[in-house]
Amino acid sequence: MSCPYTTLPASSFWRQAVAERSTADLDPHLPARLRFGPDQRIASAGSCFAQHISRALKARGYNYYVTEPAPAHLTPDQEERFGFGLFSARYGNIYSTLQLLQLIQRAFGGFQPADQFWTDRDGRVFDLLRPRITPKGYVSMIEAEADLKRHLRAVRQLIETTDIFIFTLGLTESWVSKLDGTVYPTCPGCGSAGDFDDARYAFHNLSVTETTGYLAEAINLMSAANPRLQIILTVSPVPLAATMEPRHVMQATTYSKSVLRVAAEEMVRRYDNVHYFGSYEIITNAKNAGAYFADDARSVTAEGVARAMTLFFAHFTADGAGAATRSDGDGDGHRPAAPAPAAQIVCDEDEFYRALAASRSN
Amino acid sequence: MDTELETVLPVYIVGDSHSLPYRNMVFRERWTGAWVMARTKYIPGATAREFYNPDTGEFHPDFIAFLEYEGLVRNGRATHLSMDDVDFAIAKAAGQAVRPPLIMITIGEIDVRGPILQLLKDSHDFVPPFATTLPLLDKPLVPWDLIDEAIEARLGPFIAGLDQLVKAGFKRVYVQSVVPPTRQEARIRELQNYDCPVSVRTKLVQAFNWKLAQKVRSVNLFMIDRWSDLTEGDLLRPEFDFDGVHLPPKGARLLLETLIDHAIDSRGLVANHPRYELYYRMACGLDPFQPAKPNAA
């Protein structure tokens, strides 16, 4: 018998697939099993990076499915400030698999957090599970609870009726309630709503087993509610803004992204309706030498986003088959001197970062 | 007895079509028996947003024209404060009040029914920051802060204009609250070309008035409101639904009576000190139109 490697395609070999290619030609995908067209409903959720996908879908005329739409006649600024259209419903950033699971459980009536709302000194009420969904908070608890009820109904409708759900996994580091395990998108009291209280909130870094288990449970729930649902998983290439682990943030980032990548892989192996899009590989691969990151080595440049989206549509859309074209200016391997102008994304994590910097400068 | 109330007391009512029910309204004020006479000016399409332009400092031209026509403004100045000898002589001959004139502005209904209501239409509801008996419908919500922003955008220029009026000496300006909207859904469809439930429309008017009252008070003026008399269960009483938009004269009369009551109760707050100073100087045998000499000491 001959060596089994001799039958493999070029994409299986680093030299042919990577070393001998320019960065502009790098494409870490084989033909996808899933293809969608403009008529299919496509929903998305996830970390900050996920907003690039929703914007690209809308910009290219795909049916980006929104079940919690903005009222008519809002300005784009108002829509963004109040979280309309950033994702398919107004859930804000969903960073961890446990956060996704709890959102779905809440939408289907299986979980009710014990510590969700926080009232500031002015009587404004904030939803700690989507702390920036109303910039100044709700005007009353009545408004907060009424809006939450409608939001969860919109999430349920989304899961039950979308054709495709794209989820970008972002973090493993989480802040949870000591009361009932509710997981928050950011640490309460750190740059957004809430008062930090170590008697009520605890840091928890999800293990690979937890991350995988929660993601599987979320997929099971979604698939049960919508048997024809197709799911695309991606891993955000954006490094951690900060770590609570007693180790360097680079090590913490490697751990977190590795766990998320393993969880995504495990789901693809386990479920026929789950697919993987390699935005992480596109942006972070060694051949690029950081070309798709800005000076802070964290922000993904507009060129990087464009390249990822080009490949996404090339592999997952019916009319994009084989059209993994080069993106202009992404092949020189040089990091830009300053962040290229990129679409503004709304990111709870960045808000925390800004608040932290401000508190240190005071 | 106050000289102002011994004769006919004019109330100048100017603004959108909600000024029309006051036209030719004359009645005896119930406390002193003085005659009250409404002098009205309808400015077609008048909105709060266009009442005053803070960038240019210009009022709606029809509003200024009305003040000039009624003799409330001459040569760009409030006549009741004028030290000009001609103005003084005219005022004396005409027996005009020595207090600022009573003015009521009817404005805001077009702002509510136009751009603000479009946020809600038939698809959304909202939760106001005050208690209301009106139901919260099972519809998506427009965040209150967005409603608030929309109202602010309309009221901002208007309140800036009111502030300018006060600074110019018009300290007895009243603002009529927006009247409760009709219960006739078909009439709204006819006016707006879309549906919007009466509970949502009414709640929006409540919210507009809630903001309007606060802002009008912030410039030391007063909003005229008889909501509880005009409504039943917070919805417009059918007997006050004149044509699906306006109050009938009997509803307008209620509002005007409230204005008169308030004006009588707050007379002391708006004393015309410059003119009293004139009388004082005349009583002392001084030429009222010559500036006072500084004390020799």
Q: pLDDT at residue B283 above 80?
A: no
Facing residue for B118 by CB, picked from A72, A138, A147: A72
Interface of A with B (CB under 8 A): 68-69, 71-74, 78, 82, 134-136, 138-140, 142-143, 146-147, 150, 154
| Best to test chain A binding among B116, B132, B136, B144 (most A CBs inside 10 Å) | B144
What residues of chain B lie within 8 A of the CB of A73, using their CB? 115, 118-119
pLDDT (mean) for B109-133: 94
What residues of chain B lie within 8 A of the CB of A154, using their CB? 140
For residue range A60-90, list pLDDT tens digits in order: 999 999 999 999 889 999 999 999 999 999 9
Phi (first) and psi of residue B255, to 5 degrees: -70, -40
For residue range A286-305, list pLDDT tens digits in order: 998 899 999 999 999 999 99
For residue range A301-343, list pLDDT tens digits in order: 999 999 999 999 999 998 765 455 444 333 343 333 333 445 6
Residue B85 zone, left/alpha/beta (φ > 0; ψ -120 to 50; rest):
alpha
Mean of per-residue pLDDT scores for chain B: 87
What residues of chain A lie within 8 A of the CB of B143, using their CB? 82, 134, 138, 143, 147
Q: Do B143 and A146 touch (CB under 8 A)?
A: no
pLDDT (mean) for B253-263: 94
Residue of B nearest to A143 (CA): B127
For residue range A175-210, list pLDDT tens digits in order: 999 999 999 999 999 877 899 999 999 999 999 999
* Helix, strand, coil in percent for chain A, rounding step 5: 40, 10, 50
What residues of chain B lie within 8 A of the CB of A69, using their CB? 140
Phi (first) and psi of residue B230, to 5 degrees: -85, -10
Instruction: Give the residue extent of every domain in chain A.
Output: 37-361
Residue of A nearest to B115 (CA): A73
What residues of chain B lie within 8 A of the CB of A139, using their CB? 127-129, 144-145
Interface residue B123 vs chain A (CB under 8 A):
yes
CB A273 within 8 A of CB A311: no
Mean of per-residue pLDDT scores for chain A: 89
- As given in the structure block, the two tokens for residue A90 are 């107004």
Interface residue B145 vs chain A (CB under 8 A):
yes
Q: How many CB atoms lie within 10 A of CB B273?
A: 10
For residue A133, the distance in angstroms to the closest alpha carbon of chain B comes to: 10
What residues of chain B lie within 8 A of the CB of A120, using their CB? none
Facing residue for A139 by CB, picked from B129, B136, B140: B129
Distance CA A273, CA A295 (A): 38
For residue range B96-105, list pLDDT tens digits in order: 656 789 999 9
Q: Are strands B26-28 and A173-177 parallel, antiparallel or unpaired?
A: unpaired
What residues of chain B lie within 8 A of the CB of A72, using their CB? 118-119, 121, 123
Quote the ipTM score. Answer: 0.85
What residues of chain A lie within 8 A of the CB of B149, using their CB? 78
For residue B132, the distance in angstroms to the closest alpha carbon of chain A comes to: 12
Q: Do A139 and B144 touch (CB under 8 A)?
A: yes
Domains of chain B are 3-283 (3.40.50.1110)
- As given in the structure block, the two tokens for residue B30 are 């119930």
Interface residue B143 vs chain A (CB under 8 A):
yes
pLDDT band at B291 (very low <50, low <70, confident <90, very high): low
3-state DSSP assignment of residue A176: strand
pLDDT (mean) for B254-276: 75
| Eight-class DSSP state of B125 | B
Alpha helices by DSSP H, listed for B118-238, are 144-167, 185-192, 198-218, 227-230
Q: Are strands B102-106 and B9-15 parallel, antiparallel or unpaired?
A: parallel
Q: Are strands A274-277 and B77-78 parallel, antiparallel or unpaired?
A: unpaired
pLDDT of residue B282: 61
pLDDT (mean) for A111-120: 96
Q: Do A143 and B127 touch (CB under 8 A)?
A: yes
| Best to test chain B binding among A66, A67, A78, A157 (most B CBs inside 10 Å) | A78
For residue range B6-37, list pLDDT tens digits in order: 568 899 999 999 999 999 999 998 887 889 99
pLDDT of residue A349: 66
Residue of B nearest to A153 (CA): B140
Facing residue for A134 by CB, picked from B119, B128, B145: B145
3-state DSSP assignment of residue A243: coil
B294 or B108: which leads in pLDDT: B108
pLDDT (mean) for A257-281: 97
- As given in the structure block, the two tokens for residue B76 are 């760009």
Chain B stretch 80-119, residues whose beta carbon is closer than 8 A to a beta carbon of chain A: 115, 118-119
pLDDT (mean) for B198-216: 97
- As given in the structure block, the two tokens for residue A43 are 């929903």
Facing residue for A73 by CB, picked from B118, B136, B141: B118
